[in-house]
Structure 1
């Protein structure tokens, strides 16, 4: 399921494919954009702008990293998610989209497939008429380890 009907998502498997998407879109393939893509392909987990800037190159500053990530998101290569009250985190768009659950007690984050919530999404659509996505913000609750023993 695409993240949004208003935004084109373009999952790619390699940095070279991402570079080709940038070129097709008419965007420049700068050293900074290439470094950001290298980091996101290497780590494969959501990262903050500061983490990306630190890993990408010593000379890459946070403001230019924000600008480049915004462009990569506009092109459909990157998306951002929010875990709690912290900064937005960025990750590559993928054919195997991940959604997240966040434990409000210990802060654990669990990734899962959108298909795992298909029954819930069908129920919401049937009852209130919304086709929901949980891509931008995580589901929030208590992980098994933090639940009271009588609730497990």
Structure 2
């Protein structure tokens, strides 16, 4: 999905839905569109509120948003960060690989890439005769404002 255009991602969604024998719905496309255009990580409620703002004539309820998010995550068009009892935040999978720093006080998320960490992970995998196919790193702590 990385470096794909909006149209290519929507076509991928249509293809996945067809392969699964499901009906294509505008609601899934709207939810995906919100995340593709988001500048950050959004909760389901934030996605819902953005839909109400950007698509006021659509008939997308909060339950539909949750179902669409679950489906889109299952087919790997989006990813989520789990905040335990505070729920999840979602982002599209079109960005290049990155890891996250997450503030446990205000829930601020900072994305980062560190080549040394990436190399070290590969080295650890090789040392353990393990082929790493994917990974997700989330570091928790307090952001500068919350310290």
The answer to whether the superposition gives a TM-score over 0.5 is: yes
Contact 1:12–1:18 under 8 Å retained in 2:
no
SS of the counterpart of 2:81? strand
Equivalent pairs counted in the alignment come to: 136
Q: TM-score, normalised by structure 1?
A: 0.68
**Greater mean alpha carbon deviation, residues 92-101 or residues 21-30:** 21-30
Q: Report whether the alignment pairs 1:97 with 2:93.
A: no
Aligned to 1:121: 121
Aligned to 2:43: 48
Segments of 5+ residues of structure 2 without an aligned counterpart are none
Segments of 5+ residues of structure 1 without an aligned counterpart are 1-9, 148-152
20, 24, 43: which one pairs with 2:15?
Answer: 24
Shift of residue 70 of structure 1? 1.5
Q: Which protein has the bigger helix share?
A: 2
117, 128, 134: which one pairs with 2:136?
Answer: 134
Q: Report whether the alignment pairs 1:60 with 2:60.
A: yes
Equivalent-residue separation in structure 1 for 2:128 and 2:141 (angstroms):
22
Q: Report whether the alignment pairs 1:37 with 2:32.
A: yes
Instruction: State the Cα deviation string for residues 78-101 of structure 1 (Å, max 9, x = none).
Output: 111124652101111125122211
